[in-house]
A and B are shown apart, each in its own frame.
Chain A
Amino acid sequence: MICKRLIMVPLLFFMTLVISGSSIAGGPTEDVRKTTDRLLAVVSDPAMKSADMAAERARRIRKAVDERFDWKEMSKRTLARHWKKRTEREKEEFIDLFGKLLERTYLDKVESYSGEKVLYVGEKVDGKYGIVVVKIVTKKDTEILVKYKLKNKGGEWLVYDISIEGVSLVNNYRKQFNSIMTRSSYEDLIKKLRKKVEGKD
């Protein structure tokens, strides 16, 4: 059941429809909203819908996401205690692979956007950390609670974790990666990631 939700929910992941009156001005919410609005503009643009525009659309989505997501921080948090043991080159390779893995997993869901509403329901700032709470309302009126966890870096709020219905993305991958690395090796994890990123399944 959870699995099903986890598959269904990321679909709505980045999407937003600004509803007046429910908005909270400034800070991390503003930054999250900017990115979601840009994503929405891309996915709901009719000119972008055709098959030959698919690559361009994917590129634009990735670009918008890249600006808001702190891939390095995310990778660091997912690898956790294994991060320090990696060389600079390995770290860069991992950041790239991990980014692609998420892109592969979630791009389809983002592209299949069909008018779900996104409400900004809360924000909490504590020093350089912030949380933006977003509620996504599907057309079947199911509500999905998404929490963006952000860190302020040089005045800009960057996402380092997302929790959907209380399940954290970083924690999920952290446990999976840790289990793979404890059972075999980092090389094996990279091999698996690469296969997943390149493969069609």
Chain B
Amino acid sequence: MKKFDLELAVGVFMIIGIICLGYLSIKLGKMEVFGDKGYEIQAIFSNSGGLKSGSSVVIAGVEVGRVKRVALDDYQAKVVLNLPLNVKIQEDAIASIKTKGLIGEKYVEITPGGADELIEPGGRIRDTQSAIDFEEIISNYVFGKI
């Protein structure tokens, strides 16, 4: 009887441990288990600057969504953003790829517009600003001086 109790306790403990592990890996991996809430919109950039899926999407510095997918489309970067349903994006909003600090990770910033029309789920942000390539700017500047 006593032996059975011990085994039961170990078993329960193990199961709790596994559940915790699963929870942690889902949280840390930023995976969505129960399907995505919210909606998707696209933006085409000429240079994504190494943006990855899972990068944050911010408005006024507040993280509102995540990059769902980055793919090549006609030699341009097609970025799919996942946004919560309560965040509406106007038709004339501008999406730009920014860097945290000078060499930090990339994220997408949306500056909201003033148009009455909103971007429908599956729609596209027309105005985009690609990642700024510091190296290119410096080299242009340097060679421009000669």
Interface residues of A (CB under 8 A from B): 1-2, 4-5, 76-77, 79-84, 126, 129, 138, 140, 142-143, 149, 161, 163, 165-168, 170-171, 174-175, 178
Contacts and interface: CB of A to CB of B under 8 A. Distances in A.
B94 A168 contact: yes
A84 B129 contact: no
A81 B129 contact: no
B114 A82 contact: yes
B84 interface: no
B111 A1 contact: no
Contacts of B137: 1-2, 5, 165
Given A80-B111, A171-B129, 8 more contacts: A1-B138, A77-B114, A81-B90, A81-B114, A83-B114, A140-B145, A170-B127, A171-B127
7 contacts: A5-B137, A80-B113, A81-B114, A84-B114, A140-B146, A168-B96, A174-B111
Contacts of B143: 142
Interface in B108-131: 111-115, 126-127, 129-130
Interface residues of B, number: 25
Contact of B92 (A4, A77, A143, A167): A77
A46 B143 CA distance: 32
A141 to B, nearest CB: 8
The DSSP consensus for interface residues of chain B is mixed
Interface string B56-72: 00000000000000000
B140 interface: yes
B92 A149 contact: no
- Residue among B126, B127, B141 with the highest chain A CB neighbour number at 10 A: B127
Contact of A80 (B112, B129, B145): B112
B94 A81 contact: no
- Residue among B46, B140, B146 with the highest chain A CB neighbour number at 10 A: B140
Contacts of B134: 1
Contacts of A140: 144-146
B132 interface: yes
